[in-house]
Structure 1
Amino acid sequence: MKPIFKPFNASPDFPFSFVYRDTKTKQRELPDHLHDWYEMVYVHGGKGTFFIDRTFYDMNAGSLFLIPGNTIHRAFPDHEDPVTSTALFFNPALVQAQSLGEPFSYLQGFDWSKLNRIYRLLCGPDLAAGFEQGLREIDEELRASKTGMRHAVSLLLQRILLSVNRELGTGGRGQTAQAPAIGPLWMRDTLLFIDTHYADDIGLRELSKRASVSPAHFSRVFKQMTGMNVTGFIAAKRIVKAKEMLLATDRGVAQIAAECGFESLPHFHRLFKRIVGVTPAAYRRRPSLD
């Protein structure tokens, strides 16, 4: 299954998207998510598994997931007790704040998640109550659509992010919430191996041999747990790295393609446009917070 780049139809003046208290099922969940915007997912109830980057997490009431842009992720709702969750998507430009003389950013929680590669925060009662209230108020603002609605939503989003940052900054339980051991050990080892060897010439045959399982079994379990086949997952990893390099370096497109493991520049161009929606050159030209 090819990775899917999630598009947003929001106005450029108000880069925000909101899905309130949605109950997910296997049929209604997108195969894969890969997008530039930042995302928060709060679980109201139900059960499921969330695959983010290279780790599997349990989804249950009070779980909050902080997902920076360009992070591969997919939610798998439980068949008998599917997850009910709220998802907020936003462009980082929406929450840019003045320094006001103190070192603070509304994106600190996401920076912490990316640095530590821990994407789940277990909300305590106070944080959970505040989060539920903030989400409810955002939904009410969007439904009423009164004058100043966008400003109100932006302020509510900032309030939510502030509460998350304070929770993490004061020893919140998110700092010590380790991911449970979901799936076979060889699967977790494989994801770590791909994470550091994505640019190498690796595929199903080599990976299944390292895991000491048959290619058929490896392929079946890998797709069941990540939602993607091995080829698609490695390609998505390479595209994520290429996007980072396009914005953070002045290296040529051909050099980036080679360093990310693509065998030819035309192949890189085709895959990049299919996943991202624009060519590598066009992606580099647009603002970094687009």
Structure 2
Amino acid sequence: MQADHHSVSFGNEEEEFYYHRIHRKRPFERNNHYHGTYEIYYLISGERSYFIKEKLYSIQAGDLILINKFDVHKTSGQGDPEHERIVINFSDSFLGSGHPFLPAGLLSMFDQDQPVLRLRPSEQDSVMHILDSMAAEILNRSPAFEHMLRLQLTELLIKANRLSASAIEPASPSLNPLHQKITDVVQYINSHYPLKITLKQLSDTFYISPFYLSRIFKEITGFTIVNYIQLTRIREAQRLLLSTDLRIVDIAETVGFESLTHFDRTFKKMTSMTASRYRKLNSQQ
């Protein structure tokens, strides 16, 4: 059974629960993306670079990464491309608001500034035991296995919450000056997205030529500057659609769109649905 665990897939990352384990030997790089579910990423072997929200991290085997809903993230190679990892995504509704074993405030750890936990060997063994047990439930499909997955996920979350307060040697963001400069640009966009932001304005603010800024921003983040600004606005619009009763026209203005038509077109392009349909399908009851 253990050998079968090296390739396991269950669910979809945008649905209630998703588990995916894979061992890759060839170069692999996923584009920047985000989703409306929480993500737990565990690197079993190898080394990777991880861009999360606005910082770049170097991660190694045994690192546990916690990614909040709607946080932009991207993995890419670092050295030898061979690596093995496990990804778990889950929604707010998967464990249920009335789950008797879910401590209050447990998910707040996904909102911390340090998303990468560097685990001791004994902690790695403990985490892998839970992850392997989840894989066994998925592969065997025993009666009520999905209920068991909920219990195992709760155990993993409690374990991660404890480790977030005691993990040693947290992985530091890359100190590469170029990466730091782009981090500063990303932070600026994240703070000023409701306002009009132009390439010239960013160029003047950060003392980089427009051409060079455009090129290195795309190389490091995977986005053009215009696309990243639009993504940031749409990501905030999604949050407001789910967490407020604001009218869609007011949300469009709040996140920085000058017209509802432009907002509607951009929202549908990025999410494959209208804002009203997104609110209807995803609003929690």
Do the two structures share a fold, i.e. TM-score over 0.5? yes
2:64 aligns with 64
Report how far residue 20 of structure 1 moved: 0.8
Partners of 1:103 and 1:18 lie apart in 2 by 20
Q: 2:233 corresponds to which letter in structure 1?
A: R
Report how far residue 98 of structure 1 moved: 4.2
Q: 3-state SS of the aligned residue for 2:258?
A: coil
* Matching of residue 283 in structure 1 with residue 253 in structure 2: no
Partners of 2:242 and 2:127 lie apart in 1 by 33
Which protein, 1 or 2, shows the higher relative CO under an 8 Å CA cutoff with sep ≥ 6? 1
For the 8 Å contact 1:48–1:82, the answer to whether it is kept is: no
1:113 aligns with 110
Q: 3-state SS of the aligned residue for 1:278?
A: coil
Range with bigger deviation, 17-26 or 174-183 = 174-183
1:229 aligns with 224
Instruction: Count residues with an aligned counterpart.
Output: 275
For the 8 Å contact 1:20–1:135, the answer to whether it is kept is: no
Partners of 2:69 and 2:51 lie apart in 1 by 15
1:3 aligns with none
For the 8 Å contact 2:120–2:168, the answer to whether it is kept is: no
Q: 3-state SS of the aligned residue for 1:138?
A: helix
Structure 2: gaps of 5 or more residues: 1-9
Could you list the per-position Cα deviations for residues 19-57 of structure 1 after superposition, in whole angstroms to 9, with x for gaps in the alignment?
Answer: 11343755x443222211111100112122111111111
Q: 2:175 corresponds to which letter in structure 1?
A: A
RMSD (Å), alpha carbons: 2.7
For the 8 Å contact 1:120–1:174, the answer to whether it is kept is: no
Relative to structure 1, is the Cα distance of residues 9 and 141 closer, same or farther in structure 2, using a 3 angstrom cutoff?
A: closer
Could you list the per-position Cα deviations for residues 128-178 of structure 1 after superposition, in whole angstroms to 9, with x for gaps in the alignment?
Answer: 11111111121222122222221222222111111111223xx31279654
Relative to structure 1, is the Cα distance of residues 158 and 60 closer, same or farther in structure 2, using a 3 angstrom cutoff?
A: same
Q: How does 1:9-20 map to 2 (within 5 A)?
A: 10=12, 15-20=16-21
Relative to structure 1, is the Cα distance of residues 103 and 16 closer, same or farther in structure 2, using a 3 angstrom cutoff?
A: closer
* Matching of residue 263 in structure 1 with residue 258 in structure 2: yes
Structure 1: gaps of 5 or more residues: 1-7
The normalised TM-score by structure 1 is 0.84
Partners of 2:85 and 2:11 lie apart in 1 by 21
Partners of 1:11 and 1:52 lie apart in 2 by 17
* Matching of residue 133 in structure 1 with residue 134 in structure 2: no
Partners of 1:214 and 1:192 lie apart in 2 by 19
The normalised TM-score by structure 2 is 0.86
Relative to structure 1, is the Cα distance of residues 176 and 255 closer, same or farther in structure 2, using a 3 angstrom cutoff?
A: same
Relative to structure 1, is the Cα distance of residues 9 and 156 closer, same or farther in structure 2, using a 3 angstrom cutoff?
A: closer
* Matching of residue 49 in structure 1 with residue 42 in structure 2: no
Partners of 2:56 and 2:13 lie apart in 1 by 33
For the 8 Å contact 1:199–1:238, the answer to whether it is kept is: yes
Relative to structure 1, is the Cα distance of residues 159 and 112 closer, same or farther in structure 2, using a 3 angstrom cutoff?
A: closer
Partners of 2:11 and 2:135 lie apart in 1 by 18
1:159 aligns with 155
Q: How does 1:183-194 map to 2 (within 5 A)?
A: 183-184=177-178, 185-194=180-189
Q: 3-state SS of the aligned residue for 1:286?
A: helix
Range with bigger deviation, 230-239 or 242-251 = 242-251
Partners of 1:24 and 1:76 lie apart in 2 by 13
1:123 aligns with 119
Identical-residue share of aligned pairs (%): 26
For the 8 Å contact 1:36–1:69, the answer to whether it is kept is: yes
Report how far residue 97 of structure 1 moved: 5.7
Range with bigger deviation, 181-190 or 138-147 = 181-190
Partners of 1:69 and 1:57 lie apart in 2 by 19
1:4 aligns with none
Q: 2:48 corresponds to which letter in structure 1?
A: G
Partners of 1:10 and 1:176 lie apart in 2 by 29
Q: 1:148 corresponds to which letter in structure 2?
A: A
Partners of 2:25 and 2:237 lie apart in 1 by 31
Q: How does 1:8-47 map to 2 (within 5 A)?
A: 10=12, 15-23=16-24, 26=27, 28-47=28-47
Q: 2:246 corresponds to which letter in structure 1?
A: R
Residue of structure 2 aligned with 1:251, choices 237, 246, 249 = 246
Q: 3-state SS of the aligned residue for 1:42?
A: strand
